[in-house]
A = this chain, B = another copy of it.
Amino acid sequence: MSGGRRLASWNDGATRDAVLGFIDAADAVAVHERVAVFDNDGTLWCEKPNYPQFDFMVDQLRRAVAADPTLAERTEYRSLIAHDSSAIAEIGLERIAMALLELCVGIEPAEFDARVRAFFAENPSYRLRRYQPMLELLDELRAHDFSVFIVSGGGTEFVRAIGRDFYGVEPHAVVGSLVGYEFVRDASGAPRLLRTLELFGEVNEGAPKVTNIQRQLGRRPIFAAGNSPGDTEMLEYALACDGPSLAITIDHDDAEREAAYESTAGTFETEGSYLDGARRLGVTVVSMRDDWATIFPG
């Protein structure tokens, strides 16, 4: 650990105290039980105006249309190319997302990985959309021997492609929505994995975040961070463990430096606002406006 102030971009106050108090208390927990899970969109990086994965998929569409202009005639793609929000709404985001997924069917994991990396190399501004205070929190947890995992509603392979570079998180430490794979042999008989259109299991939001943590990681978190209703079950699961625990949710309340909105992604229902419901569950709400001195890397 460096000698500077811990969580340097966090303002003094009850929230920072709660986070540091938990981390210090966790020093008494067996190292292999120091497990922290983080949602990605809106928790580790900014999800406005668009999810970065959506931007990537639209970029894939642009490239595909350049190679085959007839693709632009397809209803779902045409609505995106024309930025026709009423057509997009009519078609529905789910159908559009599946149409975009088709653009990557039949390619190997290494090729998908290369495409994602190329997108971020060509669009370096996404690195600046990470939240500096959360990067510091990742480092602080690791300095206290936590294993850190990302548990995203987004595509597992998409997050894996930038996880090491953006967050210091290895591919096996990313839990997300899983695409299907087909095992085939090429002409020489060598085995290959090709992406299919099916999803493997459920979209990783809500209760599936908890079941997928158990399935893929086999470890129970004592710390969880999220920002939307779809993270609630994961936050509750961390809080319900034995011993020290902490769950935080990011309140996007800074219209000036980021955006002012309350996330509605996910299925958790509560009386009143999501944040009020989260508070009643014992979740610590992090105000971007009040708790963070800096939001984005300088």
Contacts and interface: CB of A to CB of B under 8 A. Distances in A.
A214 B109 contact: yes
A160 B218 contact: yes
A22 to B, nearest CB: 19
A191 B110 contact: no
B32 A220 contact: no
Contact of A210 (B170, B171, B174, B191): B191
A216 B174 CA distance: 9
Contacts of A192: 240
A193 B220 CA distance: 11
Contacts of A109: 214, 218, 220
Contact of A191 (B156, B160, B240): B240
A193 B174 contact: no
Interface string A170-185: 1111100010011100
A237 B189 CA distance: 11
Contacts of A217: 171-172
A182 B219 CA distance: 16
B216 A172 contact: yes
B171 A219 contact: yes
A67 interface: no
A236 interface: yes
A183 B207 contact: yes
A201 interface: yes
A254 interface: no
A192 B157 CA distance: 28
Contacts of A214: 109, 181, 193
Given A200-B201, A200-B215, A214-B181, A110 B220 contact: yes
A211 interface: yes
Given A191-B233, A237-B191, A173 B172 contact: yes
A293 to B, nearest CB: 33
Contacts of A174: 218
Given A32-B170, A171-B219, 6 more contacts: A109-B220, A156-B218, A160-B218, A183-B207, A191-B236, A191-B237
Interface of A: 32, 109-110, 147, 149, 156-157, 160, 164, 170-174, 178, 181-183, 190-193, 200-201, 207-208, 210-211, 214-220, 233, 236-237, 240
Enumerate the 9 nearest inter-chain pairs by beta-carbon distance, A residue then B residue, closest first. A171-B218, A183-B207, A172-B217, A190-B240, A181-B211, A160-B218, A191-B237, A191-B236, A171-B219
